[in-house]
Amino acid sequence: MPALIVGLGNPGPEYARTRHNAGFLCVEELARRGGLKWERPRLKAAQARGKLAGRDVVLAKPQTYMNLSGTSVAQLVKWYKTPLSDLLIVYDELDLPFGQLRLRAGGSAGGHNGLTSVLQQLRTSEVPRLRIGVGRPEWGEPKGYLLSRFTKEQTERLPALIDRAADAAELWLREGLIAAMNRYNQAVEPESGPG
């Protein structure tokens, strides 16, 4: 049974480089690293399958739109017979400063609609997750902020952030959640200037 890494986001070119698609960006980087090809969507998700960090893995990008992500995740878990300990959900996090990562074994969705859908469909809050900090807007409404593109400064820092997120996912594959938490849950020194 392969490990399953699901990046949350919204399908379609208009959402491609928005903050809410940080999960998609991470699994796309993992696929690039492993030379894995994205297949046509089935089980309501684009999938890339193969070997990564010495393990059989399925990378997935649900095509249901964020708020219904759990529909696809539940189908993937059932189809691949994935134990929840071998599932990692990767998504954007408003409550972490831009550039920070946080892995957890479970807990509430913290207001994230995509994760809320996943936890509802899987009927448990014990789902390993990797949160990618995108920071909160200084003004305005969070939804508009999440569905908009990164600032110029964030865009410059984005490749390094997605690299670190992919590194964390690979360490999770190789050595497990605790090792990845110990390595990547430390705060990153904030860069100068507004995030």
Please list the active-site residues: 20
Backbone angles phi, psi at 62, to 5 degrees: -55, 140
> Order of strands across the sheet with 129-133?
38-42, 45-52, 55-62, 3-7, 87-93, 129-133, 101-104
Would you say the C-alpha torsion 104, 9, 69, 94 has a positive or negative sign? positive
Structure tokens at 121: 């469909």
In terms of Cα–Cα distance, which of 11, 19, 157 is closest to 72?
11
In terms of Cα–Cα distance, which of 118, 108, 109 is closest to 69?
118
Q: Which amino acid is at 44?
A: K
Q: How far is CA 89 from CA 59, 139, 143, in A?
A: 10, 28, 20
d(CA 103, CA 89): 10
Question: Which residues on adjacent β-strands are paired with residue 51?
Answer: 56
